[in-house]
Structure 1
């Protein structure tokens, strides 16, 4: 039972609920965004999936910045196509520093 008795309020609440379900579905499909496979580095997005090899990458690094009193870590990946991919803990499912260590061990970073 809803407390809103007006039709426009119910319509807006219904549209907001549907929008949240669509967003949750897309977010669930694209997580985790980065995976290391035998073929290369797979980057998943909402609309497409890209395969990156070590030769496709220009630079991989972890950047830190302060936000609201907390240090945030981001994984930055630059490609030969001049794309800058910025992935947070939310995108990766784990600490970006751990992902960087795995990518370094797999040969995806350059000294």
Structure 2
């Protein structure tokens, strides 16, 4: 969901409602684990599922926005994770790819971003070999992570000056 006020800044993250629903569902599963306490195996499985669902809900609520684009000069791509924020300029982004794959009878997309490590040189490889360099980190985002259609994210990245390979 692009929830930015400044038109030169875009921010995408999982919808808040999905995080809240995950937390509520996890609490319901934990309550169900207590109710079925006469079935130890079922109680343990429901308890584990409840804890994991609450953790996923809390994660989606804490890590916001997941991806942010500031279209200044130079454009900056900021990724937020549990360990904090990391920002990348176009010279630190090795490759951006939009992939489309078949999963369970339907097509799903993934946005892959190869970024250079903080200590890596920003020189571009001229040897003609395919694929990313060895000193890159792979960041993978799905529609769930960004809360919107991946094509709108790709369009915003292209408009900001990032090159995107489209594999559809």
Bin of the TM-score, shorter chain as denominator length: 0.7 to 0.9
| Correspondent of 2:139 among 85, 92, 107 | 85
Q: Does 1:67 align with 2:103?
A: yes
Q: Does 1:3 align with 2:35?
A: yes
> What is the TM-score with the length of structure 1 in the denominator?
0.78
Cα deviation, residue 78, structure 1:
0.8
1:24-103 to structure 2, matched below 5 A, reads 24-37=57-70, 38=72, 40-81=76-117, 82-103=136-157
Kindly indicate whether the alpha-carbon contact (under 8 Å) linking 2:97 and 2:164 is maintained by their aligned counterparts in 1.
no
Q: Which runs of 4 or more aligned residues in structure 1 lie more than 3 Å from their structure 2 counterparts after TM superposition?
A: 1-6, 11-20
Q: Structure 1 residues 69 and 54, CA, compared in 2 at 3 Å: closer, same or farther? A: same
Kindly indicate whether the alpha-carbon contact (under 8 Å) linking 2:80 and 2:86 is maintained by their aligned counterparts in 1.
yes
| Correspondent of 2:54 among 21, 24, 40 | 21
Aligned-partner SS, 1:83: strand
Q: Work out the number of aligned pairs and report it.
A: 111
Q: Structure 1 residues 89 and 32, CA, compared in 2 at 3 Å: closer, same or farther? A: farther
Cα deviation, residue 25, structure 1:
1.2
Cα deviation, residue 47, structure 1:
2.1
- Long gaps (5+) in structure 2: 1-30, 118-135
Range with bigger deviation, 58-67 or 33-42: 33-42
Root-mean-square deviation (Å): 2.9
